Amino acid sequence: MVLQPQARYIDAMPEPIYLDHAATTPVRPEVLEAMAPFYGPRFGNPSSLHRWGREARAALDEARERLANCIGARPDEISFTSGGTEADNLAILGAWRVRRKEGRNAIVTTPIEHKAVLGCVHQAAHEGAEERLCRVTADGVVDKSSFDQLTRPDVAVASVMWVNNEIGTVQPVADLAVVAKSRGALFHTDAVQAFGKISIDANAVPFDALSLSGHKIGAPKGCGAIYIRRGTLLEALFHGGTQERGRRPGTENVAAAVGLAKAAELTCAERASETTRLRALRDRLERGIRERVPDAVVHGAGAPMRAPHIVNVSVPGTDTESMLMALDLQGIGCSGGSACQSGSSTPSHVLSAIGVPRELISAAIRMSLGSLSTEASVDRVVEVFAKLVSKARGLQPVA
């Protein structure tokens, strides 16, 4: 028997369809091309004083400027990180550790945040912080009056995501930032799913810190950035050198910074046309599913604003795990709630926070559109999905 180490099941699939752009995206060819020199002749360390160092430094400075331009920031307000999670850690823990010394010990956030934010808040609580979670509506939007009520003058930092990664609802970040500022609290927003989908402008919305991730927008995994408004003090997570103004010591990942800047520029330039295209595809997908499966429930569908790329749907009488497997074996890649380290699906904390009944939570499928999505692929997904649903409903569920 000769075993081929490559995944031969993929070859056997009929036209694989990637419908999980909210999980990650392919690196864009332009991005890869922009990065290539930094894995070749321009290998220098930006901190070195010689020509190799200068070349790298120039690329890093330029990348910082270009990324800053994408969100109405100044270059000194951008620090490159290893990704969204690190940016969230730096913003929340960094802010709270500075400001608890001023008697501000509370953190306000929402129960529908990404685990990268909730994990930081729990860590701060473990170190003595007071954790306050805002109410959210059944449509998956933060209740402004609850936020207002909880954001008292003892709050160090308030963190509310811009676009929810599981259901795509847009949060009223502009209003919340104003409230937080009026109470002297630092306002952070995780914009990992928002970038490229809605307009982000540091001049229009008074957030103090904002997290970005590269791999959601066509840059490689392992790179991201944090925006830190001038005058905002954060305690660094790492200790060592003075790179990134001491906020993020360690030799800079020049290639990744260049790639992130390139991806951000491309994404911003295409934002209007791409969101229009994705919205149409999303509506087509949703309409198709509703027509074929009339009792399908789309979570967050009633929110005043939704990002154009995410459809989170539950069909009564199905279960996430079996549907994801069956879809995958048909060549369609979607996702469930947040994945556990083991790879098994765990019930979504987001859906449970917005009051979705248990049997619908355990049936939720997140489909997220992006660069690889087309009308034809959406139509095929609707076909296959509807077929799998009727099949699943003929089967008994596991207790």
Partner 1 sequence: MNTRVLVAMSGGVDSSVAAALLVEQGYDVVGATMKLFCHGDDIPDRPCCSLDSINDARRVCQTLGIPHYVLNLESAFGHDVVDNFVDEYARGRTPIPCVRCNTFTKFRDLVRKADGVDSRYVATGHYARVIGGELHRGVDATKDQSYFLWGIDRDVLSRMLLPVGIQSKAETRAIARRLGLNTAEKVESQDICFVPDGDHTKIIRRKLGSSAPALSPGAFVLSNGTVVGQHDGYARFTIGQRRGLPGGYPEAMFVVAIRPEDRAVVIGPREELLGRGVIAREVNWLVSTDSRQAMAVGARLSVQVRHRAPAVPATLIRDDGDEIELALDEPVAAITPGQSLVLYDGDRVLGGGIIERAAGNTRARASLPVLAA
Residue ranges binding partner 1 (CB under 8 A): 1, 3-9, 321-323, 325-326, 328-329, 340-346, 391-392, 395-399
Report, in Å, the least distance between residue 80 CB and partner 1. Answer: 29
Is 134 a catalytic site residue? no
**Tokens representing 97?**
């550790």
Of the candidates 95, 70, 67, the one whose C-alpha atom is nearest the C-alpha of residue 81 is 67
Report, in Å, the least distance between residue 320 CB and partner 1. Answer: 9
Report, in Å, the least distance between residue 328 CB and partner 1. Answer: 7
The label of the residue with tokens 């992130």 reads: 260
**Tokens representing 299?**
């979570």
SS3 sequence of 290-353? HHHCCCCEECCCCCCCECCCEEEEECCCCCHHHHHHHHHHCCEECECCCECCCCCECCCHHHHH
Read off φ and ψ for residue 85, nearest 5 degrees.
-60, -45
Please pick, among 223, 268, 334, 340, the residue that the annotation labels catalytic: 340
From residue 224, alpha-carbon distances to 28, 59, 115 in Å are 16, 16, 17
Closer Cβ to partner 1, 166 or 286, answer by number: 166
Determine the Cα–Cα distance for residues 200 and 191; give it in Å rounded to an integer.
9
Closer Cβ to partner 1, 9 or 43, answer by number: 9
Report, in Å, the least distance between residue 7 CB and partner 1. Answer: 5
399 DSSP 8-state letter: -
Determine the Cα–Cα distance for residues 198 and 283; give it in Å rounded to an integer.
17
Q: Would you name the residues annotated as active-site residues?
A: 340
